[in-house]
Amino acid sequence: MNPTEDNTKFREEDNQPMRFANATLGKHRHVCAFFHGAEEEYRVLLPFVKEGLARGEKAFHIVDPKLRDEHSQRLSSGGVDVPSVEKNGQFELHHWHEVYLRDGRFDKDRMLACMQDVLEQSQRDGFPLARVMGHAEWASGDWPGVDDFLEYECRLNDIIPQYKDAVICLYNLTKCGGNLIIDV
């Protein structure tokens, strides 16, 4: 697949609906999704991920470092050829410390810039759209800068409408503190 040749025009003309959890995402594609455990999460997310990959879209996932291998295995078990889509650049899998918690702290401005960079790089690479999914359970912890996480979530609402891409922030209710969930 050559995403630059195949999908540049598609990005400009894309009007296909983007489905998530039995709904169609509209113009504003920043979603906070809450799940009661991994089984429910993958039952909802797998069709979303597979739809995007089948359309030649970019997938960028951020997971708990302890669950990185499990995430890949669940995608593979669900029919995603993970090695192939990683090799062709269509799928990137990162853990929290590579994205949210670089240098051991959360920096909202750096993270907002990171999200913009991911979406813009996806465009430059010729992918029709990007589907970013980030697990946010780490925000229940006591990381430096974590107090700015809610402002980051709010400011994403100003950035995401500039793009047709989707950013899904994932919260496992069995792992997140109640205060975080109420605030989000």
102-114: b or e for each residue (b if 16 or more CB lie within 10 Å)?
A: eeeebbbeebbeb
Write the single-letter amino acid at 84.
S
Identify whether 30 is part of a domain: yes
Domain limits at 106? Answer: 26-183
Cα–Cα distances in Å, from 52 out to 3, 104, 107, 129? 13, 31, 29, 8
Q: What is the pLDDT of residues 82-116, one digit of tens each?
A: 999 999 999 999 999 999 999 999 999 999 999 99
Identify whether 103 is part of a domain: yes
Q: pTM for this one? A: 0.86
1-15: b or e for each residue (b if 16 or more CB lie within 10 Å)?
A: eebeeebeebbeeee
Q: Based on the structure, what is the number of domains in the chain? A: 1
The domain that contains 59 carries what CATH number? 3.40.50.300
Q: What is the pLDDT of residues 39-63, one digit of tens each?
A: 999 999 999 999 999 999 999 999 9
H-helix or E-strand spanning residue 20:
strand 18-20
Identify whether 33 is part of a domain: yes
Identify whether 66 is part of a domain: yes
